Chains A and B, each alone.
Chain A
Amino acid sequence: MRDGMFVFDNVVHMYDNKAENIGPRGDQVARNLHGFGVVLSNEQYPANDHFLDEEMSVEEAGRILFEESQTDIAMAQTVPLFGWWKDGFSPARRQYALKEAFPDRVLFCGGVDPLFQGVEGARQEMTRQAEEWGAVSFKFYQAHDNSLSWRIDDRQIAYPLWEKAVELGISNVQFHKGVPFGTERMEHMHPTDIQQAAIDFPELTFVIHHLGDPYIDESISVASRNPNVWLALSAWINIYPIMPREALKRLGKALMYVGPDRLVWGSEAFVWPNVQGYIELFANMEMPENLQEDYGYPQITRDVKRKIFGENYARLMGIDVGQKLKSIYGSDERTP
Chain B
Amino acid sequence: MAANADLQQRVDAAIDENIARFLDSHGGAVASAAVTPDGDVTLRFDGACRACPAVAVTFFSKVAPIVRAVPGVRSVHAPNVNVSEAAANRILALAAPPRRPQER
Contact = CB atoms under 8 A, between A and B. Distances in A.
Nearest to B88: A296
B50 A225 contact: yes
B51 A296 contact: no
A298 B83 contact: yes
Contacts of B86: 289, 292-293, 296
- The binding surface of chain B is classed by DSSP as loop
Q: How large is the interface on A (under 10, 10 to 19, 20 to 34, 35 or more residues)?
A: 10 to 19
B28 to A, nearest CB: 13
Interface of A: 221, 224-225, 255-257, 259-261, 287, 289, 291-293, 295-299
B84 A257 contact: no
Contacts, number: 40
Interface in B41-79: 50-51, 53, 56, 79
A289 B86 CA distance: 9
Contacts of A289: 86
Interface residues of B, number: 13
A292 B83 CA distance: 8
B82 interface: yes
26 contacts: A224-B50, A224-B51, A225-B51, A255-B82, A256-B83, A257-B82, A259-B79, A259-B80, A259-B82, A261-B79, A287-B84, A289-B86, A292-B84, A293-B84, A293-B86, A296-B56, A296-B83, A296-B84, A296-B86, A296-B87, A296-B90, A297-B83, A297-B84, A298-B82, A298-B84, A299-B84
Contacts of A260: 82
Interface in B6-47: none
B103 interface: no
Nearest to A290: B86
The 5 nearest A-B residue pairs measured at CB: A296-B87, A292-B84, A224-B51, A225-B51, A293-B86
Classify the interface of chain A: helix, strand, loop or mixed: helix
Contacts of B51: 221, 224-225, 257
B82 A292 contact: no
A295 B85 CA distance: 11
A256 B56 CA distance: 9
Contacts of B84: 287, 291-293, 295-299
Contacts of A221: 51
Interface string B78-104: 011011111100100000000000000
A293 B89 CA distance: 10
B88 to A, nearest CB: 8
A264 B86 CA distance: 26
Contacts of B87: 292-293, 296
Given A260-B82, A293-B84, 14 more contacts: A224-B50, A225-B50, A257-B51, A257-B82, A259-B80, A259-B82, A287-B84, A292-B86, A292-B87, A295-B84, A296-B86, A298-B82, A298-B83, A299-B85
Contacts of A256: 82-83
A125 to B, nearest CB: 35
A293 B91 CA distance: 12
B95 to A, nearest CB: 15
A255 B82 CA distance: 7
B57 to A, nearest CB: 10
A291 B82 CA distance: 13
A154 B82 CA distance: 34
B50 to A, nearest CB: 6
Contacts of A224: 50-51
Contacts of B85: 292, 299
A253 to B, nearest CB: 10
Contacts of A292: 84-87
A91 to B, nearest CB: 38
A313 to B, nearest CB: 18
Contacts of A255: 82
Nearest to A227: B50
Candidate in B53, B79, B80, B86 with the most chain A CB atoms within 10 angstroms: B86
